[in-house]
């Protein structure tokens, strides 16, 4: 007798959430308490769904036209341009919070946390450098920049949460000013995708571009990681915390364009930008494009008024503020959506949320596959069909994989390497502390005079 099995979205969601909970339990000290299981599932589902939105948005920006025939931004670029990369960076900071058990790292655990972050950075950087052959006019590979960000984020995990938040504000406000002063003295960025050969032949130039002058300057984008780290340490099982995130995100996202409009129009900042345009290194068309569609990570240094611009990928204070706000707001919306408990609206929401979460749970793997695809002969499609083919493939493959295997292949590799590094560093640290304790306190450890000690010396 043959038995027919009908899988609904709820079945897939339950299977996927069970897989994600098992993964989270392995990656942290232990599973959440039984009473927290529903909200823990909601949190994991919401975060992965936000990551899925970032993935599809980035694919749209890479695959679809950014402007129409008149040079105006398309609606999808208006929504996703600059915001998807920022959302990925904020969620990377959120991931660091979970990697460090969502709290300030204790001195006794510092070696494990540092080793895990360094190995994670090396693994992600290696994947990014392997994609260095990609055509930079089609897409700038963000992964090497993330590798530098992870290294720069190491000191943050030892700070209390309030100081991480303060650091993020200082970075967002101060680093763009510092970059404006340093850019004329730094090597001009190539805006090419760096590979292993470039890193070996010109390490200083590559690191300078990844850190300060490239499209995703890691030093400035550290503000996003600070925001994600702070959010990851919050108690997101509380509705009040999620609503607070939503209000904060909307406020930041709305404040940036309002401030830009006031500074550029009422205080004539735009007039100063055009007045100094001849010495900016850009012609009139390039200046218009930068103001309308955004830049390649920085702005001209011809006038300080460029810092009042909030265009995508300009890494100005207002660009960082607005894109951080949109990332926080979207994450809060996804967390709220994942907590809906009523059966009928929950089924309707899960039709959208589960595919997004499935894609987001494998974002690194799918991002890498996307870069390979659009730089291969397989991408012979027109823009819209090409985007739809990628989106449909990700939804079908991602949902099936996420509901069965759970973690994506590259995610599994990076996690396994960082977890192994944490274990090795932890064992080494415990051995060192054991030897230190033996030499100081144990009867078998002699003093310099050769006599054993039965208790530590005091002053």
Query: In this structure, is the dihedral angle defined by the CA atoms of residues 13, 23, 100 and 212, taken in order, positive or negative?
Result: negative
Structure confidence at residue 41 (pLDDT)? 57
Rounded to an integer, what distance in angstroms lies between the CA atom of residue 328 and that of residue 339? Answer: 17
pLDDT tens readout for residues 423-438: 888 787 777 766 655 4
pLDDT tens readout for residues 152-165: 999 999 999 999 99
Are 361 and 402 a contacting pair, CB within 8 Å? yes
Rounded to an integer, what distance in angstroms lies between the CA atom of residue 282 and that of residue 221? Answer: 25
Under-50 pLDDT residues of the chain? 1-10, 12-13, 21, 23-37, 438-459
Rounded to an integer, what distance in angstroms lies between the CA atom of residue 183 and that of residue 22? Answer: 47
Q: How many C-beta atoms surround the C-beta of residue 258 within 10 A?
A: 12
Q: What pTM did the predictor assign?
A: 0.85
Structure confidence at residue 444 (pLDDT)? 40
Six-digit token string for 324: 């951080």
In a 3-state reduction of DSSP, which class is residue 322? helix
C-alpha distances in Å from residue 405, one per residue of 17, 18, 392: 12, 11, 19
Rounded to an integer, what distance in angstroms lies between the CA atom of residue 259 and that of residue 250? Answer: 14
DSSP of 80-92, one letter per residue? HTTHHHHHHHHHH
């Amino acid at each position: 007798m043959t038995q027919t099995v009908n899988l609904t979205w709820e079945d897939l969601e339950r299977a996927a959430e069970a897989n994600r909970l098992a993964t989270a339990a392995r990656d942290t000290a232990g599973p959440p308490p039984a009473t927290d299981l529903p909200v823990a599932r909601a949190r994991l589902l919401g975060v992965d769904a936000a990551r899925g939105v970032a993935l599809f948005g980035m694919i749209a920006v890479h695959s679809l036209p950014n402007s129409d025939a008149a040079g105006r931004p398309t609606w999808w670029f208006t929504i996703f341009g600059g915001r998807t990369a920022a959302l990925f960076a904020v969620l990377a900071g959120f991931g660091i919070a979970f990697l460090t058990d969502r709290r300030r790292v204790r001195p006794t655990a510092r070696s494990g946390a540092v080793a895990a972050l360094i190995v994670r950075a090396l693994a992600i950087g290696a994947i990014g450098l392997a994609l260095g052959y990609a055509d930079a006019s089609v897409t700038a590979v963000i992964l090497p920049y993330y590798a530098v960000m992870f290294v720069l984020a190491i000191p943050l995990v030892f700070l209390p949460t309030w100081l991480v938040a303060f650091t993020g504000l200082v970075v967002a406000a101060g680093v763009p000013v510092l970059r404006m002063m340093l850019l004329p003295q730094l090597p001009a960025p190539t805006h090419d995708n760096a590979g292993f050969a470039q890193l070996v032949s010109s390490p200083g130039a590559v690191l300078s571009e990844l850190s300060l002058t490239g499209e995703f300057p890691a030093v400035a984008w550290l503000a996003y990681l600070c925001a994600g780290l702070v959010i990851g340490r919050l108690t997101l099982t509380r509705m009040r915390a999620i609503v607070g995130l939503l209000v904060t995100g909307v406020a930041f996202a709305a404040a940036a364009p309002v401030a830009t409009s006031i500074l550029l129009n009422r205080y004539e900042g735009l007039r100063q930008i055009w007045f100094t345009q001849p010495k900016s290194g850009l012609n009139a068309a390039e200046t218009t494009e930068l103001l309308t569609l955004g830049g390649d990570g920085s702005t001209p240094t011809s006038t300080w008024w460029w810092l009042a611009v909030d265009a995508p990928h300009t890494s100005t204070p207002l660009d960082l503020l607005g894109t951080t706000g949109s990332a926080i707001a979207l994450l809060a919306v996804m967390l709220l959506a994942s907590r809906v408990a009523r059966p009928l609206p929950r089924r309707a929401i899960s039709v959208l949320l589960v595919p997004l979460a499935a894609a987001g749970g494998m974002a690194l793997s799918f991002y890498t596959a996307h870069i390979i695809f659009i730089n291969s002969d397989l991408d012979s499609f027109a823009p819209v069909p090409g985007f739809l083919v990628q989106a449909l493939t990700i939804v079908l493959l991602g949902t099936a994989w996420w509901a069965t295997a759970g973690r994506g292949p590259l995610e599994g590799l990076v996690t396994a390497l960082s977890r192994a590094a944490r274990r090795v560093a932890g064992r080494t640290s415990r051995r060192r502390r054991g030897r230190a304790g033996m030499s100081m306190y144990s009867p078998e450890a002699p003093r310099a005079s050769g006599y054993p000690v039965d208790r530590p010396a005091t002053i």
